[in-house]
Amino acid sequence: MNDLVGGHIDFMVTTIPSAIGLIESGTLKALAVTGDKRFETLPDVPTAIEAGVTGYTASAWYGLVGPKGMPAEVKAKLEQATAETLGDAEVLDKLKNDGAVASTMGAQAFADFMAKERARWGEVVQAADIKVE
């Protein structure tokens, strides 16, 4: 981010929360968002697809995970607390102002989502022959 603001690089991909203040102040110009929908906090910024990058979507996401074999009652309590927190208008407003979109999934839906993400990005890693040394 420092190199972008300092003019050492011309472009970068980052998360909205890390850049929204600089975008809103006019220090940076958002060219596109990489998700499949425009962000409510940046309604004039097109998606990458709308900007002409055919088929491109990517988004940062966060989730709660626990150890294998976590007791069902603990899982249920965490899911309930998360749903309650993400139902709080103040929390949702803060997330929205930071450019985040709140979503709740049950444990199985989240496991399925993570499996799809692993497969999707695994294909990218293989196609690009990316290696970790």
Please report whether residue 133 resides in a domain. no
Domain of 5 in residue numbering reads as 1-60
Please report whether residue 122 resides in a domain. yes
Return the amino acid letter for 10: D
End-of-domain residue from the set 40, 60, 80: 60
Please report whether residue 35 resides in a domain. yes
Please report whether residue 132 resides in a domain. no
Q: Give me the DSSP letters along the chain.
A: -HHHHTTS-S-----HHHHHHHHHTTSS----B-SSS--TTSTTSPBTTTTT-TT------------TT--HHHHHHHHHHHHHHTT-HHHHHHHHHTT-------HHHHHHHHHHHHHHHHHHHHHTT----
Please report whether residue 66 resides in a domain. no
Per mean pLDDT, which range of 43-47, 77-81, 105-109, 129-133 is the poorest? 105-109
If one counts the domains in the chain, the total is: 2
Per mean pLDDT, which range of 8-17, 54-63, 72-81, 96-105 is the poorest? 96-105
pLDDT tens digits along 71-86: 999 999 998 999 999 9
